[in-house]
Amino acid sequence: MRYVLEGSLRKSGNRIRVTAQLVEAETGKHVWAERFDRDLTDIFAVQDEITEAVTIAIAPAIADAEQQRAMRKPPGSLDAWAAYQRGLWHLSKANTDDNALAQKFFQEAIDRDPNFAGGYKGLAAAQSIAADFHGGDLARMNDSVEALARRSVALDGADAEGRSRLAHALRRRGDYAGGLAEVERALALSPNLADAHAIKGSILIFSGRLTEGVEALERSIRLDPRDPRSESRLLQIALALYFLRNYEAAVDAANEAIRSYPDFPNPYRWLAAALGQLDRTAEAKEALEKAIAIAPAAFDMYVRDRVPWMRPADHAHMLEGLRKAGWQG
């Protein structure tokens, strides 16, 4: 047992205070702690509320602790789990060099233990993001991502993260119904899994259910603001707001994504389109130039060709904004 959850309860009149802390068993190091003060109006409701709050809080705390543990290990001593954790750490940086390292560590996890599902689902996530930097043969990449996700699910069908990766792979093919069915299976296994809510949000957005999609993405961020794939969540919110023609809000959301992940190219494209729609020409041109400069091949992949998961009307709407920003294609 690597982590122990400890707690205490104190009562004063009609108030209770529950203190919970997560401790690394081997070292006694405190990983997380929180205090909950509640009115004791309905003991069962309070119990459920605190249980959910603790469950939501400790998952990202453990994930962060595991990544830090893996990063302290010498590279030559990594087992499959530690290699997977190192891959997640690099994946969270959302830039091309770290993405390449993430793929390296996920492949190492697979090589060290071919029956460990984590390496496959991690590599599927990293390959998906790599297309945002490098463009390339999207059909071939989608085949690879789906094969990796299906291998992860075959190895561990009860792993909600693996099923979420498969849902994402299906969405990339434009299979909204299949992706939504798979992500609902993931949420049935793990109702508070942030990644599953994020992928559900993206499926809903690209299938035209924009408001529901934004709600799912905002829930995912609340559940785990430090998740390695937060850059995609912020991006999806920006493009949903763009599709809703709320261009001012789309600019704000795209800028938030850029502040958090300045080397991630996709938000610049949506920033340029939203600014173009607002006739803020100089700012739009600057964002457009940045989008092209960071990832020229990926820009062509998304703009000159319509990707399978984007509906024709949405693609045309994006092009309208980019042309107003100064794109001549």
What is the edge-to-edge ordering of all strands in the sheet holding 3-12? 3-12, 15-24, 30-39
Structure tokens belonging to residue 82: 């530690």
Answer whether residue 59 shows pLDDT above 90.
no
User: Quick one: pLDDT band at residue 55, thresholds 50, 70, 90?
Assistant: low
Lowest mean pLDDT among 116-125, 258-267, 318-327: 258-267
- Same-domain status, 39 and 123: no
Question: Percent of the chain scored above 70 by pLDDT?
Answer: 83
pLDDT at position 134, please? 86
Confidence band for 116, pLDDT divided at 50, 70 and 90: very high
Max mean pLDDT among 48-57, 134-143, 171-180 falls in: 171-180
**Averaged pLDDT, 71-94:** 79
Q: Are residues 104 and 151 in the same domain?
A: yes
One domain for residues 216 and 277: no
Beta bridge partners of 5: 22
User: Where a domain ends, among 47, 71, 95?
Assistant: 71
- In angstroms, the CA 302 to CA 316 distance is 12
> For residue 61, what pLDDT is reported?
64
Lowest mean pLDDT among 38-52, 62-76, 288-302: 62-76
The pLDDT of 229-237, averaged and rounded, is 82
pLDDT at position 271 over 60: yes
Over residues 106-114, the mean pLDDT reads 96
Domain that holds residue 209: 75-228
Domain end (from 16, 37, 71): 71
Q: Are residues 189 and 138 in the same domain?
A: yes
Q: Please say if the pLDDT value at position 329 is more than 90.
A: no
Same domain, 23 and 64: yes
| pTM score | 0.79
Residue 65 confidence (pLDDT): 61
Nearest to 94 by CA among 137, 70, 125: 125
Position 314 confidence tier, pLDDT thresholds 50, 70, 90: very high
Distances from the Cα of 94 to the Cα of 45, 61, 79, 264, 307, angstroms: 40, 20, 24, 6, 21
In a shared domain, residues 108 and 219: yes
pLDDT of residue 189 exceeding 70, the answer is yes
Say yes or no: 265 and 173 in one domain: no
Q: What is the pLDDT of residue 305?
A: 87
Number of domains in the chain: 3
Q: What pLDDT score was predicted for residue 249?
A: 97
**Residues ≥6 apart with Cβ < 8 Å to 82:** 69, 70, 73
- CATH number of domain containing 314: 1.25.40.10
Percentage of residues in the chain having pLDDT higher than 90: 62
**Full 3-state SS string of 208-251:** CCHHHHHHHHHHHHHHCCCCCCHHHHHHHHHHHHHHCCCHHHHH
- Same domain membership, residue 270 and residue 313: yes
CA atoms within 13 A on the CB side of 258: 19
**What's the confidence (pLDDT) of residue 155?**
96
Of 49, 71, 93, which residue sits at a domain end? Answer: 71
pLDDT of 71 reads: 57
Q: Which of 6-15, 59-68, 148-157 has the lowest mean pLDDT?
A: 59-68
Q: Are residues 8 and 85 in the same domain?
A: no
pLDDT score recorded for residue 38: 76
Q: What is the pLDDT of residue 135?
A: 85
